A and B are shown apart, each in its own frame.
Chain A
Amino acid sequence: MLRFIISKLGVLIPTFLGVTLIAFSFIRMLPGDPIELLAGERGVSPERHAQLMADLGFDRPIWEQYFSFLWGILQGDFGVSFTSRTPVLEEFLTRFPATVELAGCAIIFAALIGLPAGIIAAVKRGSAFDHTLMGISLAGYSMPIFWWGLLLIILFSSPDMLGLTPVSGRLSALFWIDQDTGFMLIDAFVSDEKGAFKSAVSHLILPTIVLGTIPMAIIARQTRSAMLEVLGEDYVRTAKAKGLSPLRIVGVHALRNALITVITVIGLQVGVLLAGAILTETIFSWPGIGKWMIDSISRRDYFAVQGGIVLIASIVMTVNLLVDFMYGLINPRILHRR
């Protein structure tokens, strides 16, 4: 087990360095100078430009800037956003709970619908349900998030249509609650304001569906194929021959083995969710890290973008590592492969 952990960590360090390098260089490769963008139509004199570049440290050699970025990260300093003039880590942490809340709800939504759908499709392989489900999940998988979000807003939120859910945001503007944890469901629940919790839940519905759609489609498809594989195994045939009830065969014997694959897939959805959050948060004005990243990129806020990417990538890597460990625990063959 120790060797397994060490080998995984050994891969992690170069990956992390690669991420820092990519984050650092990609934002700088984008055309557009942050100071020109700040000045807009009026322009900025070459002297003032040089002075501002020096103030931000952009006049130093590029490798020096990279190493000071790396050195900062090692000390927990991700730099200061030059639009808001606040530390990047603080900017990230104040927005992160909003993204976690949305992503958490989305993955629960995706699993609650995707898992049973995949199981039923596998059991009823070739049936009309199976074909319909696979069709829908393919559509869900390929749906442009932006279009899907606006469609749902028009359908569910527009007063001319159903008018059931709020259009955007995390809470109605009428509630003035304190943000103690940053998780709106919790903050609203513990606040004295009547109706705030209901408002928070109703604001979560559409973004959850939109962000959860792709993972739901993936989970449904993966569950189906994992189940089909397991259902074809000898021990399932033996169980059938022994006269066990179909529910017991599927629920106990097949599902447990199929779940190994499915759990990995769910774990790997973290990256997909964070990527999807960028669009979903933009559509629903959801104040999370996705929207913050988009704003920072358009402002060429180098420090916010490079720091934000490294933080997000670190989270994805950590979750993937945990999934690897869990996978190792569930399936001991992985540990003893060597």
Chain B
Amino acid sequence: MIKRGLLATAALASMLTMGAVTAEAKTFVYCSEGSPEGFTPALYTSGTSFDASSRNIYNRLVEFERGSTIMQPGLAESWEVSEDGLSYTFKLRPGVKFHTTKYFTPSRELNADDVLFSFNRQWKADHPYHKVSGGTYEYFSGYVSFPDILQTIEKVDDLTVKFTLQKPDAAFISKIAIDFASIHSAEYAQQMMDAGSPEKFDQEPIGTGPFQFVSYQKDAFIRYQANENYWSGRAPLDKLVFAITPDAQVAYQKLAAGECHLVPYPNQADLAAIEANKDLTVDSQEGMNVGYLAFNTEKKPFDDKRVRQALNYAMNKESIIKAVFQGAGNAAKNPLPPTLWGYNEEIQDYPYDPAKAKALLAEAGVTELSTNIWAMPVKRPYNPNARRMAELIQADWANVGVNAEIVSMEWGEYLSRSQKGDHDTVLLGWTADYPDPDNFLSLLNCASAKSGGNRARWCHKEFDDLFQEAVKVSDPEKRTQLYEQAQAVFKEEAPWVTVAHSVVHKAMSNKVVDFRIDPLGGHVFYGVDLEE
């Protein structure tokens, strides 16, 4: 009877048109991996929310060139930095229009008030919008610690804004190019406040970006249309739809059935089938990330660098990468990815040398070491299978007489307990927020050893001094030198085993023209087109 039911339903289905994607108005369908938390990027931290908001609806003063980490002018046409590195003066682009939608019609163009509004909302506790929609600004207050950096933000004239810092921060320009620093319309905010519904400001976004928001059906679709008045020229696409599809297997089926054009995180296991399909393409690029194993340097015997070096020598990295990444990863020798400036090419990685490892352990007086390896319970771009990786490391270490137990637990617990330093060694990784060595090396400084982000709990004076110095200097060459030296200290001290930099894949229809993989992990659809 079930069979009969199925046949009947199948027959009904065959009578219905499926509505595969066609191109009347050019509609691009993106099989996004999840629902955004909201549309004001400053309130959130996930890439899913940024894709749905900052990367397509908004602009920032300074932006990254599409598909690269090169900085380019955004809403600021130009900027000047004072000699002492303490003040940044931005000249705003004239004639920039905010979106005109069915819920808002702007009466003026972008000006300095909008910039002040966008930052002050996050900064000033007495700002009328500060508490709206929960009022936590993790990037501003936590990750980039702007309250500790900013002194003042002033409107010099309608099209000039001056930021004054408490202390020099060479990564400041990179930081204001990230999502939380998106520029909002102060006029729209005021209108919503006057109407008594300020939280609408965060649910129905108005920006200056290439696409404007049309509607959001929770957990189903987000719809956008091209901004006809975009300051950098109208997008080639007419409409953009995010079809929310969390299951990667289902997303692949939708791609194959022509129901969407791009899948951001295809399953490794599906890649061969996608490549074999004549209508589909897989694009790959080395990701701006690093997967590592951190030693808890506060615990014995990992406080001895000879032990850490020995365990570096004991690991057969190449075979681990082959097994875990299946060709989609490269061995890492530095804590920075090679695609980032400041990467030290000269560094020599610890080769696989069990004999040397044994000798170093003996020298350190370590015999019969029993330890643990914490393996993450989740898949991450920098480590697609931590359990497998841990097993291989366990086997390698056993060869040099180190007995390691694999420990795994729920992800939240894993993060929290490893932050408190409960582990001996822990597998984790990092994906860049902004393209500056500062973003990676801050995981290894003394401040983060205290706060817990530094899972090696490694606080090394020489490294920390170099790190602090590099933040203050604005000359890029000098900064590069300092970071290169810091990497040399890191390698010698070996608080981590740098395991791999992974390759990211995007699966798409052959009709997609000029989609560029963003090294920072975003999905930007301005400039993308569809072939007829």
- Which residues of A approach B to under 8 Å, CB–CB? 30-34, 36-46, 48, 52, 55, 80, 82-86, 91, 94-95, 98, 109, 113, 117, 133, 136, 140, 150, 153-154, 156-160, 162-176, 178-179, 195, 198-199, 201-202, 205, 209, 213, 216, 220, 282-285, 287-288, 291-292, 295, 300
User: When the two chains form the complex, which single residue of B254, B413, B428 contacts A41, counting CB atoms closer than 8 Å?
Assistant: B428
Residues of B428-453 contacting chain A, CB below 8 A: 428-430, 443, 448, 450-453
Given contacts A82-B134, A156-B13, 5 further A-B contacts (CB under 8 A): A41-B430, A43-B453, A45-B450, A174-B21, A199-B19
Q: What separation, in Å, do the CA atoms of A292 and B34 have in the docked complex? A: 11
Q: What separation, in Å, do the CA atoms of A220 and B416 have in the docked complex? A: 49
User: When the two chains form the complex, which single residue of A36, A162, A169 contacts B419, counting CB atoms closer than 8 Å?
Assistant: A36
User: Which residue of chain B lies nearest to A156 when distances are taken between CB atoms in the complex?
Assistant: B10
Q: Choose the segment among B79-87, B255-263, B359-367, B496-504 that binds chain A (4+ C-beta atoms closer than 8 Å).
A: B255-263
Tell me what chain B mostly uses at the interface: helix, strand, loop, or mixed. Answer: mixed
Q: Are B220 and A39 in contact (CB under 8 A)?
A: no
For the complex of A and B, the 3 pairs showing the least CB-CB separation, nearest first, are: A32-B412, A287-B219, A172-B19
Q: Are A205 and B13 in contact (CB under 8 A)?
A: yes
B375 neighbours in A (Cβ, 8 Å): none
Q: What separation, in Å, do the CA atoms of A44 and B250 have in the docked complex? A: 34
B349 neighbours in A (Cβ, 8 Å): none
Residues of B1-16 contacting chain A, CB below 8 A: 1-3, 5-6, 9-10, 12-14, 16
Q: What separation, in Å, do the CA atoms of A117 and B19 have in the docked complex? A: 34
A85 neighbours in B (Cβ, 8 Å): 37-38, 43, 133-134, 199, 202
Q: Is B164 part of the contact surface with A, judged by Cβ < 8 Å?
A: no
Q: What separation, in Å, do the CA atoms of A277 and B29 have in the docked complex? A: 26
Q: What separation, in Å, do the CA atoms of A39 and B46 have in the docked complex? A: 10
Q: What separation, in Å, do the CA atoms of A55 and B142 have in the docked complex? A: 15
- Closest CB in chain A relative to B254 CB, distance in Å: 4
A158 neighbours in B (Cβ, 8 Å): 253, 256-257
- Closest CB in chain A relative to B275 CB, distance in Å: 15
Q: Is B111 part of the contact surface with A, judged by Cβ < 8 Å?
A: no
Q: What separation, in Å, do the CA atoms of A33 and B414 have in the docked complex? A: 10
Contact (A285, B412) CB under 8 Å given A85-B38, A172-B259, A174-B21: no
A40 neighbours in B (Cβ, 8 Å): 45, 415
B412 neighbours in A (Cβ, 8 Å): 31-34, 36-37, 300
Q: Is B328 part of the contact surface with A, judged by Cβ < 8 Å?
A: no
Contact (A173, B243) CB under 8 Å given A39-B138, A41-B429: yes
Q: Is B136 part of the contact surface with A, judged by Cβ < 8 Å?
A: yes
Q: Are B22 and A174 in contact (CB under 8 A)?
A: yes
Q: Are B250 and A173 in contact (CB under 8 A)?
A: no
- Closest CB in chain B relative to A155 CB, distance in Å: 9
**Can you name 12 A-B residue pairings with CB atoms under 8 Å?**
A31-B412, A33-B412, A37-B411, A45-B451, A55-B135, A136-B2, A163-B18, A174-B21, A195-B19, A202-B18, A209-B6, A209-B9
User: Which residue of chain B lies nearest to A30 when distances are taken between CB atoms in the complex?
Assistant: B410
- Closest CB in chain B relative to A135 CB, distance in Å: 10
User: When the two chains form the complex, which single residue of B37, B219, B244 contacts A95, counting CB atoms closer than 8 Å?
Assistant: B219
Contact (A36, B416) CB under 8 Å given A41-B430, A168-B254: yes
